[in-house]
Amino acid sequence: MKTLKVILIGAGLRGNVYSDWAAKAAGEVQIVGVAEPDERRRKDFQKKFNLTDEVCLDTWQEVFSKEKWADVVMICTQDNMHYEPTIAAIEKGYDILLEKPIAPTAKECRDIEKAANKKGVKIVVCHVLRYTPLFREIKRILENGEIGEIVQMVHNENVGNTHHAHSFVRGNWGITSKSSPMILAKSCHDLDIMQWLIDKKCLRLSSFGSLKHFNKENCPENAPMRCTDGCEEVDCPYDTRQLYYGGDLGWFRKAAVGTSEEPTDEDVDNALKTGPYGRCVYQCDNDVVDHQVVSMEFEDGVTAIFSMSSFTPDISRSLKIMGTKGQIKAHQDSDTIIVSDFISRKDKEIKVTAEGGHGGGDKGIAEAIIRYFKGGTGVPGVSEISISADNHMLSFAAEKSRLSGGKVVEMSVFEG
């Protein structure tokens, strides 16, 4: 079977992750080009994959100005920069791996779906949770009927306080108009996995949430605009001088500097003094929520609650699925599933092994798309464009409900 030729558009963190995992499938994938406006990132990527200058381009427009020269494009630009390159890729006939979310509006999501189906190209959206050993094992348990029929699900996304400060206050996803609502940018993963596990249509939902903490009202007295400008607040958990030097936050450091290589302390120091990641978290221009809940009713009376909170020490997910014959409890941090049986009154503990980021999902999706784009059959749970577009509507509906004070949104008539 032929080697898939792949072009990356957007050589940031996620683009490098997917490229790295795809390239590890020896003989099956060849990275043949990149489009990245940031020269440092572009040159880092070029060096890593030994690419010539001719295939290392500044813009996505240059990729599609040529006759089709690969099989797949991976589109990993910022959220509000997905639509145009995706439509251009569809028109050229490329299959696409598209970073989530599909696009920042419901209409653009549906337009991409329609264009792809009309052209006959495959699009897989990066809902990496579907490809983790943990969630795949939970899906298997449900399909085997081990807990009977699902009655209720409670799913928690623990964003992590430092992660929120980095990505959703100081970082690229802090302003809705420049990215997308938090429920879409961060949590379309979670609403997708909930629907996949429940495997029924959501009929209606309501949502509440706000930006409670990361705002000027909570700013320490006399705090400067930047932590590096001599802030004297000793008890701030978001002091960049503590977060970005050493420790175990390597990917934060790389993102702050804008490189896929390990930055020096000098690189980090310069980035914090001049870039967005050195700003006081209480004096930024962020407007996305830092906590939100969504209540949902699915077909057959199944109910579900999703909770996203930035005020957690860990970055993980945890869930409980309650059925007529038993219960499933799982936590992404421990890679442990506990199945409680109502008949035997016994618990069964299942341990899964994950390799790589997102609980093994980054590796899992890379392996799945290789099989899928090569025409393989029996690739379970692939997050293809129509499924993903449907599930994105839950995020848009939740945000509509939140902005209306929690008004119930009927999904049968929701159009965005």
With beta carbons less than 8 A apart as the criterion, state whether 385 and 117 touch: yes
Q: Quick one: DSSP state of residue 283?
A: S
Q: What is the mean pLDDT of the chain?
A: 92
What's the rounded Cα separation, in Å, for the pair 398 and 287? Answer: 17
Q: pLDDT (tens digit, 9 = 90+) per residue, 242-265?
A: 888 765 566 778 788 877 677 888
Using 50, 70 and 90 to split pLDDT, how confident is the model at 27?
A: confident
Q: Which of 7-16, 91-100, 143-152 has the lowest mean pLDDT?
A: 7-16
What is the CATH code for 129-214+286-410? Answer: 3.30.360.10
Domain boundaries, the chain: 4-128, 129-214+286-410, 216-278
Q: Residue 367: is its pLDDT beyond 90?
A: no
| DSSP codes, 139-179 | HHHHHTTTT-SEEEEEEEEE--HHHIIIIIIISTTS-GGGS
Q: Which strands sit side by side in the sheet containing 202-210, from one edge to the other?
A: 347-351, 336-341, 326-331, 316-323, 150-158, 303-309, 291-298, 202-210, 409-410
Q: Residue 140: is its pLDDT beyond 90?
A: yes
Indicate the SS3 state at residue 411: coil
Pick from 99, 107, 74, 101: which is nearest to 89 by CA?
74
Read off the pTM: 0.93
Can you tell me the mean pLDDT for 371-381? 78
Q: Which fold has domain 4-128?
A: Rossmann fold (3.40.50)
What's the rounded Cα separation, in Å, for the pair 397 and 388? Answer: 14
With beta carbons less than 8 A apart as the criterion, state whether 60 and 36 touch: no
